[in-house]
Amino acid sequence: MNPETSTPSKAPRLSVGPCQYFWQKDSVERFYAEISGSPVDIVYLGETVCAKRRALRPEDWIALGRELAAAGKEVVLSTFTVIEARSEMGVVRRFCENGEFMVEANDVAAVRILRELGLPFATGPSMNIYNGATLRHYHRLGLRRWVLPVELGREALKGIRAEAKLADVETEVFAYGHLPLAWSARCFAARYHDRPKDQCNLLCLDYPTGLPVNTREGDRFLNLNGIQVQSGLICDLLPVWRDVVDAGADILRLSPMPQGTLESIHALRRAILGDGAALASRCERPGPICNGYWYAEPGMVRARLAK
């Protein structure tokens, strides 16, 4: 597409997705204090990976949400992805019944609860919305925002939006971070330490960005995050944000990292405001970056250098 003749892309909103890692409470608070003053629009809060991670209770997340809302952020509470025990459902229910903030459902169990409460909701990337009929079905139940599954890309997004023909639904795309790829009953961090999952001693606290997995030839492959397996490479669609927006994204999601999140937010915001150089350095930067899914290629591929 020739940028001279195309219509200008609409400005997307920026979001900070739920933190996928397990951090100490003071680290979480420091992180969101920084986010509070940053140019993001939406902040997703809550533990989505492992029910044992209780540094913040639901009440703490909600209190944090109030602070962020007071700072002008839209706050959304995000729920567990794999729900195995009745006690875990209690936490999901507590979020759904919070009474203040919209909820992002990462499992249909939360959709069921939100539907019964008659509340509008968002869905996370693990909700498997692969076609327009599915999106329309959830829309009838109250869906107002959805995140594209991370293994889908531009053509799928365009197709789903064209099929669904929904005006009052926002589309969000996971644009920066280690991709959530798989979820298990098994805790891979505990397994690495030869510990049973039930006696994990919360060792994920020692790995604030997960545990890198390399092939025997040293290729960075995966990243272990408790019961979750992530991409070893960081998916970075920021340099192609216009393409993502043109395909139908209303919101671009950045996944929290202990370092660099703020820098990425600022760079993206500057780029959206018209600073053509803001993201330029990232395009040529060598590093553990992938973007293949967006181009319908293997996710681990760095498909092309963005302009």
Partner 1 sequence: MELVSPAGSLPALRAAVESGADSVYVGLKDATSARHFAGLNFTARSLAQGIEYAQGRGRRVLMAINTYPQPKGWKQWTAAVDQAAALGVNAVIVADAGVLGYAADRYPDLPRHLSVQASATSAEALAFYRQEFGIRRAVVPRVLSLGQVAALVEDTDVEIEVFGFGSLCIMAEGRCLLSSYATGESPNTVGACSPAAHVRWEDFPDGSLETRLNGLLIDRFAPGERAGYPTLCKGRFRVGDRLGHILEEPTSLNTLELLPALFDAGVAALKLEGRQRSPAYVGQVTSVWRAAIDACLADRATFRPADAWQRTLAELSEGSQTTLGAYHRPWQ
Site for partner 1 in 37-76 (CB under 8 A): none
Say if residues 109 and 120 touch (Cβ distance below 8 Å): no
Q: Tell the smallest beta-carbon distance from residue 216 to partner 1 (Å).
A: 6
User: Which range, of 31-39, 168-176, 207-215, 269-277, touches partner 1 by CB under 8 A?
Assistant: 207-215
Q: Give the binding-site size for partner 1 (rule: CB under 8 A).
A: 72
Nearer to partner 1, 76 or 143 (CB): 143
Residue 243 binds partner 1, judged by CB under 8 A: no
Within positions 159 to 198, which residues make up the interface with partner 1, using CB under 8 A? 159-160, 162-163, 179, 181-188, 191-192, 196-198
Q: What is the largest CA-CA distance in the chain?
A: 60
Which residue type sits at 112?
R
Nearer to partner 1, 26 or 216 (CB): 216
Q: Tell the smallest beta-carbon distance from residue 195 to partner 1 (Å).
A: 11
Nearer to partner 1, 64 or 222 (CB): 222
User: Which range, of 7-15, 38-46, 154-162, 276-284, touches partner 1 by CB under 8 A?
Assistant: 154-162
Interface with partner 1 (CB under 8 A), residue from 14, 45, 222, 244: 222
Tokens 């839209």 -> residue: 74
Nearer to partner 1, 87 or 259 (CB): 87
Pairwise CA distance, residues 105 & 154, whole Å: 23
Within positions 121 to 150, which residues make up the interface with partner 1, using CB under 8 A? 126, 128-134, 136-138, 141, 149-150
Interface with partner 1 (CB under 8 A), residue from 224, 249, 254, 278: 224
Interface with partner 1 (CB under 8 A), residue from 25, 215, 258, 273: 215
Nearest alpha-carbon partner for 14 in 283, 223, 256: 256
Contacts for 56-60: CB closer than 8 Å, 24+ residues apart = 56/25, 56/28, 58/91, 58/94, 58/95, 58/98, 60/25
Say if residues 65 and 28 touch (Cβ distance below 8 Å): no
Residue 117 binds partner 1, judged by CB under 8 A: no
User: Coil, strand or helix: which one is 216?
Assistant: coil
Residues in the chain, overall count: 307
Residue 214 binds partner 1, judged by CB under 8 A: yes
Say if residues 42 and 69 touch (Cβ distance below 8 Å): no
Which residue type sits at 231?
S
Within positions 245 to 304, which residues make up the interface with partner 1, using CB under 8 A? 292-293, 296-300
Structure tokens at 240: 């192609």
| Rounded to 5°, angle at Cα 54 from 97 and 81 | 60
